[in-house]
Amino acid sequence: MIVQTDSVRFDSISLGGGATLGPVDVAYQSYGALNGAKSNAILVLHAFSGDAHAAGISPETGKPGWWDNMIGPGKALDTNKYFVICSNVLGGCRGTTGPSSINPATGKPFAMTFPIITIGDMVRLQRMLVEHLGIRRLLSVTGGSMGGMQALEWAVAHPEMVASAMPIATTARHSAQQIAFDEVGRQAVMADPDWANGDYYDKNLPARGLAVARMVGHITYMSDDSMREKFGRRLRNRVEFGPDFDTEFEVESYLRYRGSQFVGRFDANSYLYITKAMDYFDLANGYGSLGAALEHATARFLVISFTSDWLYPSYQSLEIVNALRSRNRDVAYCELNSNYGHDAFLVDVGEQTELVRGFLARVAREEGVQ
């Protein structure tokens, strides 16, 4: 199934920080068909380095979307039943306005003059897209990692539009360790002289710094176990042991490859802005407590975490679940067994599919979706 990326332009968006940004383009894809009542729409929210291409085959790259194993006919997000939308986030670099977009006031890329954005701003822009599509209420909002943060923000900030939310492998706020890993990535980018305070668009990209940042990320996305199974201590260049600087462990060449690949598809300034948005995200902000925030949510919740995910450990999902329970909200929670670490929500989708399918069927029934 070849899918096209659509785009819509809005005159402006008012950001939570007070600034106004405009015009704003939003890149999005959709799968399945919107029903007559426009009641079968599910908004999928991508993780940090994701994009609007969640499912199907890209005509440009020939590659499947990042959640193609979850979205499609008969899959967890069944496109025979549901209309699934996914858009690139505000601040991104895959079609939606971000630091690499041209600032109409100057004719040059915004770079570091792009306004600070938050998870709340990303969600506000998604709301504009959803309303543009004529949808008044989403059957569900779902995503893993940063996508899960957006799902939580949707449920609290726009409760009347959210029938259900499925935050996966995520948190209501970054811990010190999560902030620390993000900060290392930012420092790696900014340590690269080619970053040049963000003004690199007509020059050399900060490729080395961005690659190092991505390497750190990849370690945190996998588990100790999954790295052992995938690489162990195998050498790439030869079988015989002998230490020198030329011989590579397979895990080294893998990380270098993934790091260098990332440079071709991701903007370094987007890296800075989006990680900052994640670090500043705290669902309790302005409410006093997580429970007080989630009291505003009226959605049914399905919260999922994975045993070997040490980047977004299960205790962070339990904080969300406990806060929801403390306000008598409708919540189911499952910790799924997986060795794949944080990547599990992307690659180990067997049990996740069963849970999501059952949960959505119930919500669709209760919402009267035909």
Which residues are catalytically annotated?
A: 145, 309, 342
How far, in Å, CA of 364 to CA of 370, rounded?
Answer: 8
- Minimum CB–partner distance for residue 225 and its own copies (Å): 9
- Minimum CB–partner distance for residue 276 and its own copies (Å): 6
Q: What is the DSSP letter of 282?
A: B
For 308, the token pair is 């070997």
> Please, which residue, 279 or 351, has the CB nearer to its own copies?
279
Question: From residue 167, how far is each of 127, 244, 305 by CA, in Å?
Answer: 17, 45, 9
> Please, which residue, 55 or 122, has the CB nearer to its own copies?
122
- Minimum CB–partner distance for residue 73 and its own copies (Å): 37
- What helix, strand, coil percent values describe the chain, rounded to 5? 40, 20, 40
> Please, which residue, 33 or 315, has the CB nearer to its own copies?
315
Contact call for residues 112 and 198 (beta carbons, < 8 A) = yes
> Please, which residue, 127 or 208, has the CB nearer to its own copies?
208
How far, in Å, CA of 214 to CA of 256, rounded?
Answer: 9
Question: From residue 293, how far is each of 105, 152, 154, 263 by CA, in Å?
Answer: 38, 10, 12, 37
For 301, the token pair is 């919740």
Summarize as ranges the residues that interact with its own copies (CB under 8 A): 17, 112, 116, 118, 173-177, 179-181, 183-184, 187-188, 191-193, 208-209, 211-212, 215-216, 218-219, 222, 224, 227-228, 230-233, 241-245, 249, 251-252, 255-256, 259, 272, 276-277, 279-280, 282, 285, 310, 313
- Minimum CB–partner distance for residue 66 and its own copies (Å): 22
Task: Look at residues 230, 197, 163 and name the one whose alpha carbon lies nearest to residue 368.
Answer: 163
For 226, the token pair is 């999954």
- Minimum CB–partner distance for residue 280 and its own copies (Å): 4
- Minimum CB–partner distance for residue 298 and its own copies (Å): 26
> Please, which residue, 113 or 337, has the CB nearer to its own copies?
113
Longest dimension (CA), the chain: 67
Q: What angle (nearest 5°) sits at the alpha carbon of residue 338, between those of residues 336 and 341?
A: 110
> Please, which residue, 203 or 233, has the CB nearer to its own copies?
233
Three-class SS of residue 184?
helix
